[in-house]
Structure 1
Amino acid sequence: MKQTRLTEMLNIRYPIIQAGMSWASSNAALPSAVTNAGGLGVIAAGPMYLDAFRDAVREVKQKVGDKTFAVNLPLYRPEAERFLDVIEDERVPVVFASQGGPKAHLARFHALGTRWIHVVSTLEHARKATAAGVDALVVVGAEAGGHPPANGVSTLVAVRRAATEFSIPIVAGGGVADGYGIAALLALGADAVQLGTRFIATRESGVHENYKRAVLETDIDGTTLVGIRQLPIRMTKNAFAQAVLHADINERDQAAYEALFASSSLRQAALEGDIERGKVELGQSAGLVNDLPGAAEVVKRLVDEYDAAIRRLIE
């Protein structure tokens, strides 16, 4: 598989990154499996207690040896500074950060040799992060699960624009579940591809079995963007999503709208298995996923599919 500026920067074999996903990769099992298979595994710190997070970091370090792994941290979360202290103490080699400015943290972690990769969904945020001095960007398109850009710009367009505007490495995110998609985004100028939904549907993923089955049952048109008056979320078209879609248009009372939006959570779906009323955050690429293999098998399959895509172009 093609080596890129990012594989060289991070010393990873393949330009394949498992997205940091709350509960799905808030453990050691999934990130270590991906890293040991040649990709970059990412621990999702977002929903974790501090002690559990520290334990997961240490377990991944023990399982992967000198291979590179990463941590994803939303900077807005309570106690973010204490999580950053653990990242510093444990000498985590790569930080993926989002939902907050990186500038205040970069000198501290660059002094350790830690690479800082910032997740963005708009050109405005990409420009600010680049000016602050981050090492790379994750550029997320509208196909992605969770919090894609509210402007609806696709990964195809967003990544190509970022690759032409910014000189630092670009990680593409959104709409990819196989090696053919990886080949396409590398051809557009990306230096690696981040996959989320594909890795939710693996044996090592920490979400409820109902959530994993939802990936298999969701087609390419089975997700929708809800909460356009809040922070929009791409999720399955379940009962909660239908209620919010109706309220997006018809609810005039903002307080009532916010109460409805807050009445459901990702935890409800990912940890408790309520896929009708919980926020089942999935990308459009769920429609390309139809099995629940181990994470290492997924990485191998992605490489094989990438090779097949390249052969198709040159034969």
Structure 2
Amino acid sequence: MIELRRILYFIAVAEELNFTKAAERLKISQPPLSQQIKILEKELNVTLFNRNKRVVELTEAGSYFLEKAKDIVQKLELVFEETRQVESGKSGKLSIGFTGSVTYDLLPKLIQTYQRANPKINIILTQMSSARQVEALENKEIDIGMLVSPIESNSLKVKTLRSEPFIIAIPSNHPMANRKEPVSLFNFKNEPFIFTDRDVGHSYYDAIISLFYEVGFSPIKSQQANELQTIVSLVASGVGNAVLPASIMNYINNKVTYLTLTENNASCTSSMAWRKDNDSAILKSFIEHVDHQDLCLS
């Protein structure tokens, strides 16, 4: 393996075409410099310089090697700088998992403001359920999870981002679609509802089910879907109604009407989670960024 030091020595001699001047530039004595160049030539098995008493000249191979050596040094300097930026949290990769509940306002806001301040960080976004995010975090598949809490994991740190009320989504041709004031969930006791699978997110599912029980009835389940956009599409098709986080109201579907509920005891809590043993500077910078954002917690 050729030492970088010898390449730097070669560049100095090639640019000065004088061993004495190159040695002065490198702040070393001339004999060791000459010796290192000879070692380099032996390692490459080529002659880099034509030497005589009056002048030092690059050979054809030497001229080619000078061009490539400069490219190598320039690329290495870039790698060194990028490495320092990675350590400082200014460059690198950040993998984020997220649930549908943060898709329509919270996640876009955080990513947009963070990317504006940190353009050299490559953010990889993957939508997955809260349960899958916990698994992915523990297996080091993602750096951050944006999920519905509470969650069960001793290896993760959790930061609450916001709590939002639930609303009801109904087809736009529903008899109550023109209501302007909040409505009671009890008005829909004889109508079918669309739910997510409980295994996708226990906390989210249980919060919605408890809302029905508090009102005083067990819901009629017509369909199951795990993505919020899919649920809204099913509502638009008349398959059933759905109780969803209020942030879904940012997702416009002309065939769906969103109504606020008079029952506001239950809420959907969105949180950010990461591994306790993750000491990444990029992760730290993202957490600090989130800490300084107005997320409109309620």
Q: By percentage of residues, which structure has more strand?
A: 2
- Larger Rg computed on CA atoms: 2
The TM-score normalised by the length of structure 1 is 0.26
Q: Name the structure, 1 or 2, with higher relative contact order (CA <8 Å, separation 6+).
A: 2
What TM-score, normalized by structure 2, do the two folds share? 0.27
